[in-house]
Amino acid sequence: MNKQNRRQFLKLSITGGTVLLGGGLLSGCTLPPVMMNRPNMGAAQTSQPVTAATTGPIANTRFMPDLEIDLKATTGLAPILPGPKTSVWHYEASVVKGDSNSLIALPDNYLGPIIKARTGQKIRVNLINDLPSGEAHIVHWHGLHLPEDMDGHPRYAVAQGQRYVYEFEVKNRAGTYWFHPHTHERTAEQVMMGLAGLFIVSDAEDDALGLPSGEFDLPIIIQDRTFDSKNQFVYLARAGAGMGGMSGMSGMNMQSMMGFLGERILINGQLNVVLNAAARPYRLRLLNGSNSRIYKLGWSDGTPLTVLATDGGLLEKPVSRNFVMLAPGERIELWANFSRRKVGDELTLQSLAFEGVESMGAGGTGMGGMMSQGRSAPALGAPLTLMTVHITRQAETTSTLPAQLSKLNPLLLEDAINANNPRQFRLQMRGMNWLINGRGFEMDAVADDEQVKLGTTELWEFINELNPGEMMEQMGMAHPFHIHGVQFNVLERQVLPALKAGWDSVRDGFVDEGWKDTFLIMPGERVKVLMRFSDYTGKFVFHCHNLEHEDMGMMRNYEVQT
């Protein structure tokens, strides 16, 4: 990487909070706080259909938010490569009521703001769909425990020009959550076009640890994108690229089947990112916001990763791993201690090589090579450099890694109503579609085996089958599986002996010690998770977070009933 061309992380100080931003175009200028209170746009809320009395499109006058924000999904231009700007879709946000530091915008970036909230806070979000006409939209708060009409189920999507009002209390503990579109069959492309943001929750327990904060607490959102010669995003579904050797299958079908893989890595919406760091500890909050690419995170010099938190917040104590798997939708927080590094040192955050995510099954040669035909992007599992850390200054710090982070209070198997009889979900390919227990997504349908009872703890077992009898006979793929509405504990993983080799290249990177809302399940693997259905009845979705799989229907409702 040419030093002159490196984009620098830019520090954007916002009263105590600092966010790192890539962006050569921004270097040199000091940016003012971007989010300001602005007049309530209430007067403009005219043509909205009244479909719910207290929630949904219309605000509830009795709900008194601590924080109210306008969140507009709209079109824009982002300077990503030298030359023409890239047309993107993104979220613009502003604080209507409450602390203006609750929003950290990333200017000139397609990513949405970082929303900072506290446990117990009441939040109103006025979502405005200002996307191109025909583009319905709804936001899902990934990882948050919310009533079903606040969760962003695809059936609540609103048409262009309309709004949806969210009103909820933040019940989750401190953690790195996020938000993104959840429009039926449009999630993948809307995210790919740029719609996504972080939702960072803090609480007293987290505060008390004295972890690195301010400019030493940094988001790292990992995505992959492909650009055309005019610097525009290329999404293969639209390009319809043909697949060599797969006659009769369009590029679109193939992409849906395998998921979109981009040619280049972006960190926080920027290419070739360099973090100019001080020689001291950092708290890094990583999100895999990619449509389907899975990363095996590792430092270039083999330094182990120190993990502080998973999807649902802090671990009981820090754990050390030589590498960590991060599948789409998953988050991980790291303690990155650069204290012993010298000024001028450099290291990179890598995605290390791994195998077995696309599998032809027992005795097969692996699908990686075949499936990569016609794709110019690096194959899933190919090694990649994600970002560079460049130590630019000494630093004094008293920050030390706490031995104890939290008390986890995991669920207990003995409390499950089906401890010996897990509810099973088979992830399958049938008729060139990815399905769950033989079914694709239906907007309102809930099958008998998808109904659960409020106030119960259940054991669910996901089984990533191979597909005997199918045209793609033994084909298997890794699926990042996500369940709305809950945080769960991963209890157990098992793999078919024939597929153990691929699994062995990733298994030590699973951090199953903490609360999770998304987990990677490898071909031939079975994973048991324990969860509790509390507080809210209604229909919630669970789905593959490979967004192309989700859009093609690898999603179902489960319903919580009293």
Q: Contact with Cu ion (CB under 5 A): which of 180, 479, 528, 556? A: 479
Smaller CB separation from ligand C2O, 170 or 496: 170
Task: Tell which one of 428, 489, 546, 557 touches Cu ion (CB under 5 A).
Answer: 546
Which neighbouring-strand residues pair with 326? Answer: 295
Least separation in angstroms between residue 348's CB and ligand C2O is: 28
Residue 255 sits in the site that holds Cu ion (CB under 5 A): no
Residues numbered 267 to 306 that lie near Cu ion (CB under 5 A) are none
DSSP state of 444: S
Pick the closest to residue 139 from 63, 191, 75, 101 (CA basis).
191
Residue 390 interface partner, choices ligand C2O, Cu ion, none, CB cut-off 5-8 Å depending on type: none
Element housing 236 (H / E): helix 236-239
Enumerate the β-bridge partners of residue 351: 297, 384
Q: Which of the choices ligand C2O, Cu ion, none does residue 543 contact, using the CB cut-off of 5 to 8 A by kind?
A: ligand C2O
Q: Give yes or no for residue 544 binding Cu ion (CB under 5 A).
A: yes
Tokens 């099954």 label which residue?
Answer: 361
Q: Which stretch binds Cu ion (CB under 5 A): 114-122, 194-202, 222-230, 482-490?
A: 482-490
Q: Quickly list DSSP for 143-159.
A: T----GGGTT-GGG-B-
Q: Which does 329 bind (CB under 5 to 8 A by kind): Cu ion, ligand C2O, none?
A: ligand C2O
Cβ 424 to ligand C2O shortest distance, Å? 21
Taking CB under 5 A as the criterion, the residue among 142, 280, 285, 532 binding Cu ion is: 142
Nearer to ligand C2O, 21 or 427 (CB): 427
Binding-site residue total for Cu ion (CB under 5 A)? 6
Picked from ligand C2O, Cu ion, none, the partner binding residue 549 (CB below 5 to 8 A depending on kind) is Cu ion
CB of 482 to ligand C2O, least distance (A): 5
CB of 140 to ligand C2O, least distance (A): 5
Report the nearest approach of ligand C2O to the CB of residue 30 (Å): 34
Return the closest-CA partner of residue 106 out of 116, 93, 124, 119. 93
Collect all residues with Cβ–Cβ distance below 8 Å to 146 and sequence separation of at least 6.
Answer: 168, 171, 485, 536
Find the part of the chain contacting Cu ion (CB under 5 A) among 113-121, 294-302, 398-406, 472-480. Answer: 472-480
The answer to whether 97 and 126 are in contact (CB under 8 A) is no
- SS3 category, 238: helix
Smallest separation, CB 517 to ligand C2O (Å): 8
Tokens read off for 460: 């669910």
Instruction: Single out the segment in contact with Cu ion by CB under 5 A; choices: 83-91, 194-202, 479-487, 498-506.
Output: 479-487
Contact between 549 and Cu ion (CB under 5 A)? Answer: yes
Compute the residue count for the chain: 562
Task: Kindly tell me which of 6 and 331 has the beta carbon lying closer to Cu ion.
Answer: 331
Three-state helix/strand/coil letters over 167-192: EEECCCCCEEEEEEECCCCCHHHHHH
**Are the beta carbons of 292 and 548 closer than 8 angstroms?**
yes
Ramachandran bin of 550, using left for φ above 0, alpha for ψ from -120 to 50, beta for the remaining angles:
alpha
Which CB sits closer to ligand C2O, 435 or 475? 435
CB of residue 488 vs ligand C2O: minimum separation in angstroms?
Answer: 14
102 vs 200: CA distance, rounded Å: 10
User: How many C-beta atoms lie closer than 10 Å to residue 383's C-beta?
Assistant: 12
Which residues fall within 8 angstroms of residue 370, CB to CB, at 6 or more apart? 245
Rule CB under 5 A: say whether 351 interacts with Cu ion: no
Q: For residue 461, what are the β-bridge partners?
A: 424, 528
- Of 1-9, 70-78, 297-305, 536-544: span binding Cu ion (CB under 5 A): 536-544
Interface residues toward ligand C2O, by CB under 6 A: 140, 142, 180, 182, 329, 482, 484, 541, 543, 545
Phi, psi (deg, nearest 5) at residue 207:
-55, -40
Chain position whose Cβ is nearest to ligand C2O: 142
Q: Which positions lie near Cu ion, rule CB under 5 A?
A: 142, 479, 484, 544, 546, 549
